[in-house]
Amino acid sequence: MESNLFEVLRKPSDGKTEKIFLRDPDGEPLTYSEVFKMSGRYSAALHECGVKEGDRVLVKVEKSIDALALYLACLQSGAIYVPSNPRNTVEETEYLSQDAEPSLVVFSHGCVQNVNSRSETLGKINGSLTSLAESLPGTDQVTQRSGSDLAAMLYTSGTTGKPKGAMLSHRGLIANAIALHDIWGFEPEDVLLHCLPVFHVHGLFVALHCSMLSASEVIFLNKFEPDIILDHLPEATVMMGVPTHYIRLLGTSRFDYDMCAHMRLFTSGSAPMSTLVHEKFQRQTGHRILERYGMTEAGIITSNPLKGERIPGTVGFPLPGVELRVSKDGRECGIGELGVVEIQGDHLFSGYWKQPEKTAAAFSQDGFLITGDIGSIDENGRLSLQGRSNDMMISGGENIYPKEIELCLEEFQSIDECAVVGLPHPDLGEAVTAFLILNGEFSEAAMDQYLQSRVANFKKPKKYVIVDALPRNAMGKIQRSKLREEYSSLFSDAEDHD
């Protein structure tokens, strides 16, 4: 098996090079060979910028075909691709660049932030890296990598608040890509509707690798916009989304049986999909969504079957090569018993960047990754998830940790104490909600202004609730679960989606 993921993705199959790869509604369709030529030119540009194999390239750009070519170029030249959410604030970007120590940071043209490393910009108009790439002849050469060399590093938040870089090897990404491509039956005739961000495992690896391995087409949409999705759905055969995407599509009258009749597959993941949404989906479209479960540190872990029963509320069976168990108090749980999901396999990450203690803490003594998800396995080996052992919130498929927001809020002048929890929300799954004990005047406008430069917009609380006291246990620890229970219907009557 090739060791550089790039070789696996480029591997020629019948007619692959001249097949259409990316269709961006605002531009000309690009064939596989055209995209690999772009990658070759970006690879040469990275070389000109002094990027060497093993160097990190931090990329904070809007979704675009050039961003995708830059990802491929990093693989091709043996650099480690480190994508960042383009919505990150200056402070958040500074942290990532200090931590990852990249030899190059790439921003969207016009969105440059101050960093210690060399920086360039991406963009067809005036992007410095793009102009450099376009001026170079490009290269076909692929830097040799061993399976354990790193291909990418994706930052995930943690209970302590600061994001950690999950190191992902070529071997791990190849193993997951091949397993998924096979179990989801990808064929050259498939057309994937791509509306996910490309700084996460879901949009970057899961979606794109499946298409590239099967030499199939991708309709590459800049963002999720229901009307635009529906305009392009008739040309697609597969769509991958988070539950919020499907909830929003189900809220439109166009998303119906006829519109979906030709579709081969809808997959959902990154956050739990409720049985109600599963059922509504089936009634309205005639399709049963295939729900799967994954995480940044492991790629996709389990999936409902392509052929066979897809059961709402379950996330299916372990992928080929994944060993999965549920444990409690140091022992493996029996059938149906709740415990923490633990996994092992080639697809796992190689640890957290520069954080040996946190890496060690993430694994059991016998080398299983402790996911933090609570679940149970039924008599057929099917996994169901029940929640998490920590306080992480998932809002619209984005993970947010209460601690990070609480630390920020506590520095705001009139706040004495606070607690942040995720409450059920009809559109986002969970909505960030802040409970505040005040010692003075509070205005949401002032708070919005204050948070502007501190945390990315999507992490901002959707509601503030002023309270006299926060529930605490005998040790004085805030009981977030009590707040979640007491205020569980805070958003259920919301008529709009904010």
Helix (H, G, I), strand (E, B) or coil at 408: helix
Categorise residue 251: left if φ over 0, alpha if ψ from -120 to 50, beta otherwise. Answer: alpha
d(CA 387, CA 32): 41
244 binding ligand AMP? (CB under 6 A): no
Regarding beta strands 238-241 and 191-194, do their DSSP bridges make them parallel or antiparallel, or are they unpaired?
A: parallel
Q: What is the longest distance spanned by two Cα atoms in the chain?
A: 69
- Specify whether the CB–CB gap between 354 and 170 falls below 8 A: no
DSSP designation for 79: P
184 binding ligand AMP? (CB under 6 A): no
Task: Quote the least distance from Cβ 38 to ligand MLC, whole Å.
Answer: 24
Kindly indicate which of the ranges 62-70, 161-169, 181-189, 294-302 contains the residues binding ligand MLC, using the contact rule CB under 6 A: 294-302
Helix (H, G, I), strand (E, B) or coil at 266: strand
Helix (H, G, I), strand (E, B) or coil at 5: helix
Q: Please provide the distance, in angstroms rounded to a whole number, between the alpha carbons at the two ends of the chain.
A: 48
402 binding ligand MLC? (CB under 6 A): no
Kindly indicate which of the ranges 40-48, 142-150, 292-300, 488-496 contains the residues binding ligand MLC, using the contact rule CB under 6 A: 292-300
271 binding ligand AMP? (CB under 6 A): yes
Kindly indicate which of the ranges 126-134, 213-221, 255-263, 265-273 contains the residues binding ligand AMP, using the contact rule CB under 6 A: 265-273
**Judged by CB under 6 A, which of 296, 314, 376, 433 binds ligand AMP?**
296
Task: Quote the least distance from Cβ 139 to ligand MLC, whole Å.
Answer: 31
Residue with smaller CB distance to ligand AMP, 47 or 288: 288
398 binding ligand MLC? (CB under 6 A): yes
Lay out the site mask for ligand AMP across 310-329 (x = CB under 6 A, - = otherwise). -----x--------------
d(CA 459, CA 416): 21
Q: What is the CA radius of gyration of the chain?
A: 23
- Specify whether the CB–CB gap between 21 and 31 falls below 8 A: yes
Q: Which two tokens stand for residue 171?
A: 């071997």
Residues 365-384, interacting with ligand AMP (CB under 6 A): 371, 373
**Judged by CB under 6 A, which of 294, 318, 426, 461 binds ligand MLC?**
294
Task: Quote the least distance from Cβ 307 to ligand AMP, whole Å.
Answer: 19
**What, of ligand MLC, ligand AMP, none, does residue 291 touch, CB below 5 to 8 Å by kind?**
ligand AMP
Q: Classify the C-alpha dihedral 251-253-257-258 as positive or negative.
A: negative
Residues 6+ apart with CB under 8 A from 208: 68, 194, 198, 218
242 binding ligand MLC? (CB under 6 A): yes
Residue with smaller CB distance to ligand AMP, 49 or 180: 180
d(CA 79, CA 54): 5
Lay out the site mask for ligand MLC across 140-179 (x = CB under 6 A, - = otherwise). ----------------------------------------
Kindly indicate which of the ranges 4-12, 132-140, 264-272, 439-447 contains the residues binding ligand AMP, using the contact rule CB under 6 A: 264-272
**Judged by CB under 6 A, which of 412, 450, 458, 464 binds ligand MLC?**
458
Q: Which amino acid is at 430?
A: E
Kindly indicate which of the ranges 133-141, 291-299, 381-389, 483-491 contains the residues binding ligand MLC, using the contact rule CB under 6 A: 291-299
d(CA 5, CA 175): 10
Lay out the site mask for ligand MLC across 191-220 (x = CB under 6 A, - = otherwise). -----xx--xxxx-----------------
Task: Quote the least distance from Cβ 282 to ligand MLC, whole Å.
Answer: 22
**What, of ligand AMP, ligand MLC, none, does residue 385 touch, CB below 5 to 8 Å by kind?**
ligand AMP
d(CA 297, CA 412): 34
**What, of ligand AMP, ligand MLC, none, does residue 102 touch, CB below 5 to 8 Å by kind?**
none
Angle at 33 between CA 24 and CA 266, to 5 degrees: 45
**What, of ligand MLC, ligand AMP, none, does residue 388 touch, CB below 5 to 8 Å by kind?**
ligand AMP
243 binding ligand MLC? (CB under 6 A): no
Angle at 152 between CA 146 and CA 155, to 5 degrees: 145
- Specify whether the CB–CB gap between 462 and 398 falls below 8 A: no
Helices (H) and strands (E) in the chain, counts: 16, 25
Q: Which two tokens stand for residue 132?
A: 């450099």
Q: Which two tokens stand for residue 452?
A: 């502007």
**What, of ligand MLC, ligand AMP, none, does residue 421 touch, CB below 5 to 8 Å by kind?**
none
Residue with smaller CB distance to ligand MLC, 197 or 351: 197
**What, of ligand AMP, ligand MLC, none, does residue 390 touch, CB below 5 to 8 Å by kind?**
none
Q: Which two tokens stand for residue 371?
A: 């996911």
Residue ranges of E strands in 61-189: 80-83, 104-108, 118-122, 150-156, 164-169
**What, of ligand MLC, ligand AMP, none, does residue 165 touch, CB below 5 to 8 Å by kind?**
none
Q: Where do contacts with ligand MLC occur on this chain (CB under 6 A)?
A: 196-197, 200-203, 223-224, 242, 244, 269-270, 294-296, 395-398, 428, 457-458
Q: Where do contacts with ligand AMP occur on this chain (CB under 6 A)?
A: 156, 201, 269-272, 291, 293-296, 315, 371, 373, 385, 388, 394, 399
